[in-house]
Amino acid sequence: MILVTGAAGFIGSNIVSSLNKKGFHNIIICDWLDHISKRNNLNKLIYDNIISPENIFKYLNKNDNIELVIHMGANSSTTETNFRLIYNFNTRFSRNLWKWCTQNKVRFIYASSAATYGDGSKGFDDSENKIYQPLNIYGLSKYLFDRYAIKQAKKYLCPPQWVGLKFFNVYGPNEYHKGSMQSVIKHSLDQYNKTGIVKLFKSYNDKFKNGQQTRDFIYVDDCVSLINWFLENKNISGIFNCGTGIERSFEDLVTSMFKAINVPPKIKYIEMPENIKHQYQYYTRANMKKVIDKGYKIKALTLEEGVYDYVTNYLLSNDKYK
């Protein structure tokens, strides 16, 4: 039996879809179905049961047939200001899952985030010895759990396999419940359909022109491919970046969207809200050397390929769900 937390969410539902394709149907969904799009994310999936997060430990303690926990559930709002709310779910809940997996010798794969790297001035190296300063409480909550996992693993108080994945800028189908936290590509197409233009934030850093702020954009299918690789390589544990290793600009991203819909780019640069200026990352690029050295071969789609697939096969389709 496989437990997937956040399984009605973005990356989680894509993972369950992939597991189904591999013939795994003995899956427990742990999530709140508090949005119609999250319920829609489950429509094509095959699973055994749905358990709400507040009841998951009661369920786990009564069932000894769980072999793998894939923990994608989180409050992923980078603008949330309630630290207690974020900490309780992203850090404390994760610690409790870690302890349960350790005690019951169950493999554990969880979602960390590139937000743990802060402003990028110290690089994006997934070494377990480097110290970073996240810019927001979401990144801090993920960073605190990463540090906990590293500390516990050094004392051998860890699951038989444990993997933390620092997801960079993921985009793709089934993200529609995320509201303001949806990918820039989804927001861009929505903006264009409503107004005929796409708005991007101006740069307030002399090193970056407007639109040239960069991210390591990765299609959700490529994230799932890396997770599948870890499922096949049970002897590999640790914290690893999940990106392409290539940075691209927001202008590149939006231009790819316009190309996918066969329309000339129409971009307007606007002021950045004051509440995010101090926590804005101007550059991200995953250092993928660590996982490559372990034997993983990156076969990620280019930005243009990923955007084209997402736009034409999902966002413009009558059925936009995976």
Check 178, 199, 259, 290 and give the catalytic one. 178
Q: Distance between CA 21 and CA 271 in Å, rounded?
A: 44
Which backbone phi and psi does 5 adopt, to 5 degrees?
-85, 150
Q: Distance between CA 101 and CA 56 in Å, rounded?
A: 13
Number of DSSP helices (H) and strands (E) in the chain, helices first = 12, 13
| Residue length of the chain | 322
Look up residue 160 and give its DSSP letter: S
CB proximity list for 179: less than 8 A, separation 6 or greater:
none
Q: Distance between CA 220 and CA 165 in Å, rounded?
A: 13
Q: Distance between CA 134 and CA 120 in Å, rounded?
A: 9
CA 45 to chain centre: 20
Q: State yes or no: is 178 an active-site residue.
A: yes
Residue closest to 80 by CA, chosen among 216, 179, 166: 179
Q: State yes or no: is 192 an active-site residue.
A: no
Q: Distance between CA 112 and CA 278 in Å, rounded?
A: 22
Question: Any idea what the Cα angle at residue 180 is, between residues 177 and 182, rounded to 5°?
Answer: 60
CB proximity list for 208: less than 8 A, separation 6 or greater:
214, 282, 283
Q: Under the phi-then-psi rule, with left for phi > 0, alpha for psi from -120 to 50, and beta for the rest, what region is 192?
A: alpha
Check 138, 171, 192, 283 and give the catalytic one. 138
Q: Distance between CA 140 and CA 86 in Å, rounded?
A: 9
Sign of the alpha-carbon dihedral angle for 135, 136, 137, 139: negative
Residues known to be catalytic: 138, 178
